[in-house]
Amino acid sequence: MPPKNSVYIATSIDGYIADKDGGIDWLDMVSIPEGEDMGYYAFMENIDALVMGRNSFETVLGFDVDWPYTKPVFVLSNSLSVIPKSHREKAFPVSGELTEVLHMIHNRGFLRLYIDGGVTIQSFLSEDLIDELILTTIPIILGGGIPLFGDLRQRLAFEHIGTKVFADQLIQRHYRRVRQ
Ligand SMILES: NC(=O)c1ccc[n+]([C@@H]2O[C@H](COP(=O)([O-])OP(=O)(O)OC[C@H]3O[C@@H](n4cnc5c(N)ncnc54)[C@H](OP(=O)(O)O)[C@@H]3O)[C@@H](O)[C@H]2O)c1
């Protein structure tokens, strides 16, 4: 099975993943039917591990819920060398060139990766390392915040796999990278 790097993320209409204060409360502004997970469970079933930026890791750590991941989480950071004791068997700090980080993760048998966090996704995109995007648009314009996308040196073409609409409000687009 070839390695694959996937993004599954929600954004505002204007393309932010968090508001100006880093808040994500707006992600839940639309009620969806009980039991509807918008494909998240199936997506998670098909990944081997997560690669997450330190900010996203710390955000998830701060949630008042049990650790939500059953797969290993590799935390990209140049400042974090120690994972809190409570999560040492679930999360692992990594740093260095992305291609080297990926090489190390692949060598450990994790090939299908969920890439998460704004800066992190942007650094993967800048090296053309994202193969799949699943983007759910929340019907709000935030006017600022943490953007999903940033400047790139080159265009990246994707093909549209499909679009789903949830609760008549949430638009989920699925794209696959097309490399010539
Ligand atoms: N809307 C959604 O579905 C969604 C999903 C995920 C996250 N979020 C939100 O997004 C925010 C976090 O995103 P973010 O853009 O601030 O950051 P992020 O990607 O989660 O974390 C950025 C940090 O990751 C590390 N990092 C990233 N790329 C690296 C690389 N190539 N090499 C080494 N370290 C690297 C750096 O940590 P060091 O500074 O330690 O070096 C960097 O400061 C949070 O507010 C979170 O709630 C929203």
- Give 106-158 pLDDT, tens digit per residue: 999 999 999 999 999 999 999 999 999 999 999 999 999 999 999 999 999 99
For residue 64, the model assigns a pLDDT of 87
- % of the chain exceeding 90 in pLDDT: 94
Cβ of residue 38 lying under 6 Å from some atom of ligand 1: no
Q: What is the mean pLDDT of the chain?
A: 96
Report how many helices (DSSP H) and strands (DSSP E) the chain contains, helices first.
Answer: 4, 10
Angle at 9 between CA 168 and CA 34, to 5 degrees: 45
For residue 16, the model assigns a pLDDT of 98
68-95 pLDDT, tens per residue? Answer: 999 999 999 999 888 989 899 999 999 9
Mean of pLDDT values over 10-29 = 97
* Half-sphere exposure for 19 (CA within 13 Å, toward CB): 11
Could you tell me the residue ranges of all domains in the chain? 37-149+160-177
| Axis crossing angle, helix 118-126 with helix 54-62, rounded to the nearest 10 | 150
Which of 25, 38, 54 for a ligand 1 pocket mutation test, highest count of atoms within 8 Å of Cβ?
54
Cβ of residue 118 lying under 6 Å from some atom of ligand 1: yes
Helices (H), 50-97: 54-62
CATH code at 37-149+160-177: 3.40.430.10
